[in-house]
């Protein structure tokens, strides 16, 4: 998975605003201040996540995502483009359409409805399984940002109709209730913010068609450039991780997402000295190792999540790939 430099830049700016020295974060991500400021630069998800985790730990803020999401700088170029749209509905549609400039760690979509349209925010399954806490903060930040846009453009008169979270309810719900002016629902099927249709027709205060077209053209050119920079192997890994739901997609499905045929995909991968089978195996066991480092899932649950029919099959495959059993790996890394 790749992440645009602006995502790391936002984390750095936020922790600096709290009086925290960002140098350790640069070292953890194996990058520099200059690279983070480069609008042409992309980073791996691991680099981005190391900075985010550092920020959460250093601030000691259990509501880090909510608080960061309310900061104006979180918008970036996509947010500026959305702000220049004619109304909230168009802003949300365009913002969702071009969110992928930020990276492929999540998908956001606008689902229209005559009465109650909504925005769905789907964090990569790999992220949610590996690092559920930071994934929670990411969803919080996005929803806080969307709620903030509504308040700014309505002079604090409009709020989301309803908010659904996939995670369990927090111990203290008052912060969420204060921010969203309502009580969110938890343990739902998807992370989504639902609106009243009439509320989204409120004009954007910064409406400017010329600015919109200029920024839209800029973002489209950036997307094209980023897509050309990412290797085919990384693209396949990204699709495997983002589409995994109790099993990984097969080569035909991955090829369809890449707008090619399975035969062409395999031929192109061979030119990079790889194969779909090898990438799938590496991706599966990398995810397994990350999940085993956490204690919130049993080995049996991890086996089921990764699509194995029985625990024995998973254990044999894992040992063949890593040299140790799943339980031995967990014991070595966690104790």
Query: Do 69 and 29 fall within a single domain?
Result: no
Query: Do 89 and 134 fall within a single domain?
Result: yes
CB 326 within 8 A of CB 162: no
CA distance 76 to 83: 11
Residue by residue, pLDDT tens for the chain (335 residues) are: 678 788 888 888 888 888 999 899 889 888 888 888 876 778 888 888 899 999 999 989 889 999 988 875 545 667 777 778 888 898 888 888 887 777 778 888 999 999 999 999 988 877 887 788 888 999 999 999 888 888 888 888 888 999 999 988 888 888 899 888 888 999 998 999 999 999 999 888 778 787 778 777 777 776 776 666 667 887 787 777 766 665 778 888 888 888 889 888 888 888 888 888 888 888 888 878 877 876 667 888 888 777 777 888 888 888 888 888 888 888 877 65
CATH of the domain at 311: 1.10.10.60
Query: Do 92 and 205 fall within a single domain?
Result: yes
CA distance 149 to 144: 9
| Residue numbers of the domain that contains 33 | 1-60
Q: In this predicted structure, what is the pLDDT of residue 305?
A: 75
DSSP character at residue 190: S
Query: Do 129 and 203 fall within a single domain?
Result: yes
Query: Do 148 and 262 fall within a single domain?
Result: no
CB 285 within 8 A of CB 319: no
Query: Do 160 and 32 fall within a single domain?
Result: no
Last-in-domain residue among 225, 254, 279: 225
Query: Do 143 and 210 fall within a single domain?
Result: yes
Give, in order, the Cα–Cα distances in Å from 256 to each of 78, 137, 252, 264. 27, 32, 6, 11
Candidates 99, 137, 148; CA nearest to 120 is: 99
Candidates 15, 26, 64, 289; CA nearest to 170 is: 64
Query: Do 1 and 149 fall within a single domain?
Result: no
In degrees, rounded to 5, the angle at the alpha carbon of residue 25 between the alpha carbons of residues 21 and 3 is 135
Q: Is the dihedral of CA 92, 98, 101, 105 positive or negative?
A: positive
Query: Do 215 and 75 fall within a single domain?
Result: yes
Token pair in block for residue 298:
């049993």
DSSP of 230-279, one letter per residue?
S-HHHHHHHHHHHH-SSS---HHHHHHHTTS-HHHHHHHHHHTT--HHHH
* Overall domain count for the chain: 3
Query: Do 55 and 153 fall within a single domain?
Result: no
| pTM for this entry | 0.68
Give how far the C-alpha of residue 309 lies from the chain's centroid of Cα atoms, to the nearest Å. Answer: 29
Q: In this predicted structure, what is the pLDDT of residue 243?
A: 66
Last-in-domain residue among 9, 33, 60: 60
Q: In this predicted structure, what is the pLDDT of residue 226?
A: 66
Q: Is 136 helix (H, G, I), strand (E, B) or coil?
A: helix
Q: In this predicted structure, what is the pLDDT of residue 110?
A: 92
Which residues contact residue 22 at a Cβ distance below 8 angstroms, ignoring those fewer than 6 apart?
12, 15, 16, 33
In degrees, rounded to 5, the angle at the alpha carbon of residue 283 between the alpha carbons of residues 235 and 54 is 85
Q: In this predicted structure, what is the pLDDT of residue 244?
A: 64
Candidates 86, 80, 10; CA nearest to 43 is: 10
Query: Do 221 and 237 fall within a single domain?
Result: no
Query: Do 40 and 181 fall within a single domain?
Result: no
């Amino acid at each position: 998975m790749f992440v645009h430099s602006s995502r790391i830049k936002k984390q750095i700016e936020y922790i600096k605003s709290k009086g925290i020295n960002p140098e350790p974060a640069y070292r953890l991500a194996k990058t520099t201040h200059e690279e983070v400021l480069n609008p042409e630069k992309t980073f791996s998800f691991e680099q981005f996540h190391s900075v985010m985790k550092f920020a959460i730990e250093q601030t000691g803020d259990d509501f880090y995502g909510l608080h960061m999401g309310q900061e104006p700088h979180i918008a970036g170029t996509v947010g500026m483009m959305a702000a220049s749209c004619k109304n909230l509905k168009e802003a949300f549609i365009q913002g969702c359409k071009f969110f992928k400039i930020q990276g492929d760690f999540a998908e956001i979509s606008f689902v229209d409805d005559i009465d109650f349209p909504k925005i769905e925010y789907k964090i990569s399954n790999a992220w949610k399984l590996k690092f559920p806490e930071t994934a929670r903060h990411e969803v919080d930040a996005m929803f806080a940002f969307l709620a903030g846009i509504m308040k700014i453009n309505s002079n604090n008169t409009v709020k989301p109709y309803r908010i659904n979270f996939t995670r369990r309810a927090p111990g203290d719900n008052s912060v969420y209730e204060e921010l969203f002016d309502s009580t969110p629902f938890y343990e739902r099927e998807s992370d989504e913010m639902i609106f009243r249709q009439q509320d989204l027709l409120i004009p954007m205060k910064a409406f400017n068609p010329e600015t919109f077209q200029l920024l839209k053209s800029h973002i489209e050119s950036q997307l094209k450039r980023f897509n050309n920079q990412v290797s085919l192997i990384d693209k396949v890994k990204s699709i495997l991780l983002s589409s995994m739901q109790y099993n990984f997609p097969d080569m035909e499905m991955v090829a369809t997402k890449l707008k090619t045929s399975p035969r062409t995909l395999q031929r192109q991968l061979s030119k990079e000295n790889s194969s779909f089978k090898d990438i799938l195996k590496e991706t599966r066991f990398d995810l397994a190792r990350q999940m085993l480092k956490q204690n919130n899932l049993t080995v049996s649950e991890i086996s089921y999540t990764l699509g194995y029919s029985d625990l024995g099959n998973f254990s044999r495959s894992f040992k063949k790939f890593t040299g140790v059993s799943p339980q031995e790996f967990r014991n070595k890394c966690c104790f």
